[in-house]
Amino acid sequence: MAAALSNMIPDRLSQRFELAHHPPTSKIAPVGPVRILIDGFSVLHACREELPQTAPHTAKAQDWLAHKCLKYQDAMGQPITLFFDGKGTGGKPSRVESNPHLEILYSQGNQTADHMIERVTHRLLPYGPVVVVTNDHAERETILSMGGEVQSCEAFMEEMRQCSEVASPDLARYLRRDR
């Protein structure tokens, strides 16, 4: 099964997660998850009331979520990969640029974001815990059966809100002190 999954991963993902073929030899456990994998449209549908007056499948909604994830990543230090099905409305990807700490990936062709999340989870699990954020019940069961961890979209959004509330005063103090 693992070999079959490895053969199905597109070259781009294979290169990005190539290290998963060679699990670490160190016995030191990671502090937190190796990476947080987010089903972007699942989160956008779960938090429609927070969206800035836009439909969940628009580039504007994707940008909004990417900015929120970037702030969360800056505060928490956990690398995040945000997955979307296709290239969004009109083929316009998010204007937020991917970087090693916040990657934004779009499925192509007959792939879905769920398939990409499953394959990346499989590749990263040898390095430590992987958290997948989704409300898709089938996806949640698949990730749990692989040994991954899952978090509901609502719980993740609440965690981001709490992180923002804590980080904002600290950042304001830091900026005032820096002047």
For 3-7, 30-34, 100-104, 142-146, which range has the lowest pLDDT when averaged over its residues? 3-7
For 7-11, 108-112, 173-177, which range has the lowest pLDDT when averaged over its residues? 7-11
Q: Answer whether residue 128 is part of any domain.
A: yes
Q: Is the pLDDT of residue 6 over 70?
A: no
What is the number of domains present in the chain? 1
Percentage of the residues of the chain whose pLDDT score is greater than 70: 70
Q: Answer whether residue 157 is part of any domain.
A: yes
Q: Answer whether residue 9 is part of any domain.
A: no
> What domain range is 72 assigned to?
37-173
Maximal C-alpha separation, the chain: 57
Q: Answer whether residue 15 is part of any domain.
A: no
Q: How far apart are CA 82 and CA 173, in angstroms?
A: 30
Instruction: Please give the residue that has the higher pLDDT: either 163 or 90.
Output: 163
102: CATH: 3.40.50
Using pLDDT thresholds of 50, 70 and 90, give the confidence band for residue 96: confident
Q: Answer whether residue 147 is part of any domain.
A: yes
Mean pLDDT, rounded, for 81-107: 78
Q: Answer whether residue 31 is part of any domain.
A: no
Q: Which pLDDT score is estimated for 173?
A: 57
Q: Is the pLDDT of residue 38 over 70?
A: yes
Percentage of the residues of the chain whose pLDDT score is greater than 90: 41
Q: Answer whether residue 43 is part of any domain.
A: yes
Q: Is the pTM higher than 0.85?
A: no
Give the number of other CB atoms < 10 A from CB of residue 123. Answer: 22
Q: Is the pLDDT of residue 134 over 90?
A: yes
Task: Please say whether the beta carbons of 131 and 33 come within 8 A.
Answer: yes
Q: Answer whether residue 47 is part of any domain.
A: yes
